[in-house]
Structure 1
Amino acid sequence: MTVSRNLLFLLVGLLIAGLAATSYALYQEKKQPEGVEISVGKNGLSIKEK
């Protein structure tokens, strides 16, 4: 019985760690980059600070 309980706790811990890692990766992907944006268009060169 103790082995089953320890295995259950291990699996729940791994699921929580996986969820946290996935959430962090999605957050980093959606986060706007900081710095300067340089673009060239019909109106010439455009520089915007983010």
Structure 2
Amino acid sequence: MSRNGLYALVAVLAVAVVAFAIYTYQQQQSQPGIEVRIDEQGVSIDGNG
């Protein structure tokens, strides 16, 4: 395999890793969840689902 081919393969793999990381992050952000806070004003419960 030539050096240019190797560089192209590394670039394609790097792009795939970045794309997968972005996809995973977006999937985690869209999942419903519940946030419970306890502070001076009392207890508050926020849900995004």
Identify the TM-score tier after normalising by the shorter chain.
0.5 to 0.7
Cα displacement (A) at 1:33: 1.1
Matched, 1:16 2:20: no
Structure 2 gap ranges (5+) = 37-43
| Count of residue pairs the alignment pairs up | 40
3-state SS of 1:23 partner:
helix
Secondary structure of the structure 2 residue equivalent to 1:32? coil
Runs of 4+ in structure 1 over 6 Å off: none
Alignment-derived partner of residue 31 in structure 1 = 31
Q: Give, in angstroms, the shift of residue 38 of structure 1.
A: 3.7
SS state at 1:26 partner: helix
C-alpha RMSD of the superposition = 2.6
TM-score, normalised relative to structure 2? 0.65
> TM-score, normalization: structure 1?
0.64
- CA shift, 1:35, in A, is 8.2
Indicate the structure (1 or 2) with the bigger Cα radius of gyration.
1
